Chain A
């Protein structure tokens, strides 16, 4: 993952959305998930790799993810996967994301501004 600075002011909710999206496809452990985020976003989003774990634990606490430990090469890896509740939450987050990006795009593109001043 590129060692670039993150943009915290734009990042609220995005890591959770990405994590739920990727884990709704298949089960992954933390390192694998970070690599998947890097690949999926073309390294455009830098989470700070260690910060994914509190997000994973928090999602698990809220029953959006299910975790299971599996021994791999002499150590125990924790694999995460999205639950039905997690997929439902993902659906709601995607809808909200699309609504916000559409509104922001309009504002940035000048459509709303033009309408308001017309």
Chain B
């Protein structure tokens, strides 16, 4: 079996939802099996061309090899089975839970200005850096499994908007009493009317949405370059 045929078979298996780890191993074992079969046919006295042809027939045609993998639900990728949950709702929920957990954890510990500055750093990381990493990760995982990129983009965009519209401010001062750390959302006042959320400010929201756009761009640009290289390779 030629490398091109194996590569095509792998592509078809991935597009059919077979988990990448099973695809990699299946292809590796098929290649080794083919090599062993060619060697055996040569030992029997066949010419190189005849040995290769017989080995390929023995292995089975692509359709049969694909069907045999698809007949085994255990080999299917879970992400491919539930893309909306895995790439849409899951990452949003994960980010919200992580952000709130870090906030609560540091709120307990922020008894000094130094600790408060560490907390500020953590908040900035979760609001500005983590969404880019998350979006990039989701896009790469979806691409590796040949899944449609719609759900990763939707999930990443929701996280980018939630994170981008967060306003985090820190007032360092020598004493804890004078210093302060504030987190607010410029998005929530447009949906909920509560005094602690403050007034709805379209200008501040626009800034947040710009940050969300920047987040998506920072993930999509390197992803597109990487994908192009992968396709060319």
Q: Which residue numbers of A lie inside 8 Å of B, CB to CB? A: 1, 3, 30-31, 34, 48-51, 53-55, 57-58, 61-62, 75-78
Q: Are B75 and A61 in contact (CB under 8 A)?
A: yes
The answer to whether A57 touches B33, judged by C-beta atoms less than 8 angstroms apart, is no
Enumerate 29 A-B pairs (CB-CB under 8 Å) in ascending A order.
A1-B58, A3-B54, A30-B29, A31-B32, A31-B33, A31-B37, A48-B59, A48-B60, A48-B65, A48-B68, A49-B37, A50-B30, A50-B33, A50-B60, A50-B64, A50-B65, A51-B64, A53-B26, A54-B22, A54-B75, A55-B68, A57-B22, A57-B74, A61-B74, A62-B74, A75-B32, A76-B28, A77-B32, A78-B25
CB pair A58–B75 under 8 Å, yes or no, is yes
Cβ of A54 and Cβ of B72 under 8 Å apart? yes
Q: Is B69 interfacial (CB-CB < 8 Å)? A: yes
Closest to A31 in B: B36
Contacts of A58 in B (CB 8 A): 72, 74-75
Measured between beta carbons, the chain A residues less than 8 angstroms from B30 are 50, 53
When distances are taken between beta carbons in the complex, the residues of chain A under 8 Å from B22 are 54, 57
The verdict on B107 contacting chain A, using a C-beta distance below 8 Å, is: no
Q: Let me know if B194 is at the binding interface, CB within 8 A.
A: no
- The 3 lowest CB-CB distance pairs between A and B, nearest first, are A48-B60, A51-B68, A61-B74
User: Which secondary structure dominates chain A's binding surface?
Assistant: helix
Residues of B within 8 A of A62 (CB): 74
CB pair A78–B29 under 8 Å, yes or no, is yes
Contact A49 B33 (CB under 8 A): yes
- Separation of A19 and B180 alpha carbons in the complex (Å): 67
Q: Is the interface of B mostly helix, strand, loop or mixed?
A: helix
CB distance from B203 to the nearest CB of A (A): 55
Task: List residues of chain B with CB within 8 A of the CB of A31.
Answer: 32-33, 36-37
Closest residue of chain A to B56 (Cβ to Cβ) is: A50
Kindly state the separation between the CA atoms of A112 and B26 in the bound complex, as whole angstroms: 45
A57 near B72 with CB under 8 A, answer yes
A54-B65 Cα distance, complex, nearest whole Å: 9
Judge if B225 is at the interface, Cβ distance under 8 Å.
no
Determine if B58 and A49 form an interchain contact, defined as CB atoms under 8 angstroms apart. yes
Residues of B within 8 A of A57 (CB): 22, 25-26, 72, 74-75
In the bound assembly, the distance between CA atoms of A30 and B33 in angstroms comes to 7
In the complex the two chains form, is A54's CB within 8 Å of B37's CB?
no
Give B164 Cβ to nearest chain A Cβ, in Å: 41
- Extra pairs beyond A3-B58, A50-B30 (13, CB < 8 Å): A31-B32, A50-B59, A50-B64, A50-B65, A51-B65, A51-B68, A54-B68, A54-B69, A54-B72, A58-B75, A62-B74, A75-B32, A78-B25
Q: How long is the Cα–Cα vector from A57 to B58 in the complex, in angstroms?
A: 20
Alpha-carbon separation in the docked complex, A51 to B69 (Å): 8
CA distance A101 to B60 in the complex (A): 29
Interface mask (B64-81 → A, CB under 8 Å = 1, otherwise 0):
110011011011000000
Task: Flag B11-44 by CB within 8 Å of A: 1 or 0 each.
Answer: 0000000000010011011101100110000000
Task: Select the residue from B26, B29, B33, B57 with max chain A CB neighbours within 10 A.
Answer: B29
Give A60's nearest chain B residue, CB to CB.
B74
Bound state CA distance, A50 and B69, in angstroms?
Answer: 10
Cα distance A6–B37 in the bound complex, in angstroms = 19
* Contact partners of B29 in chain A: CB under 8 A: 30, 53, 78
